[in-house]
Amino acid sequence: MSPVVLAASRRMLARVLVAAAAAAVVSCGNDEAGPPFIVGAGDAVESRVLAEIYAGALARTGLPVAVLPELGERADYLAALDAGRVALVGEHTGELLAHYDSGSAARTPSDVVEDLNRSLPEGLVVSDPADGTDLRPRVLVTAEAARRDDVDSVAELAPRCAELRAGLAPAPDVLRVPAVPQVAGCDFAGETPFADAMALRNALLDSSVQAGVVGGPSALTAAVTEGLTVLTDADYALRAENVVPVFRKGLLDDQRVRKLNYVAGELTTDELVEMIRRVRDGAAAAEVARAWLDAHGL
Whether the CB-CB separation of 272 and 289 falls below 8 Å is answered with no
Nearest 10 degrees: Cα torsion 137, 143, 145, 150: 90
**Of 243, 256, 284, 254, which Cα lies nearest the Cα of 59?**
256
CA angle 51–173–203, rounded 5-degree value:
160
d(CA 184, CA 79): 29
CA angle 180–70–269, rounded 5-degree value:
55
Residue 86, classed as helix, strand or coil, is coil
Q: Residue 164 pLDDT > 50, yes or no? A: yes
Q: Which domains does the chain have, with CATH numbers?
A: 37-133+241-296 (3.40.190.10), 138-231 (3.40.190.120)
Q: In terms of pTM, does the model score above 0.85?
A: yes
- Residue range 234-290, pLDDT digits in tens: 999 999 999 999 999 999 999 999 999 999 999 999 999 999 999 999 999 999 999
Per-residue confidence (pLDDT) for residue 223, from 0 to 100? 79
φ and ψ at 229, to 5 degrees?
Answer: -115, 125
Confidence of residue 33 (pLDDT cuts 50, 70, 90): low
The percent of residues above 70 in pLDDT, for the chain, comes to 89
88-110 burial, b if ≥16 CB within 10 A, otherwise e?
Answer: bbbbbbbbbbbebeeebebbebe
Number of Cβ within a 10 Å radius of residue 116: 24
CA angle 266–171–245, rounded 5-degree value:
35
Per-residue pLDDT, averaged over 68-74, amounts to: 96
Q: Residue 5 pLDDT > 70, yes or no? A: no
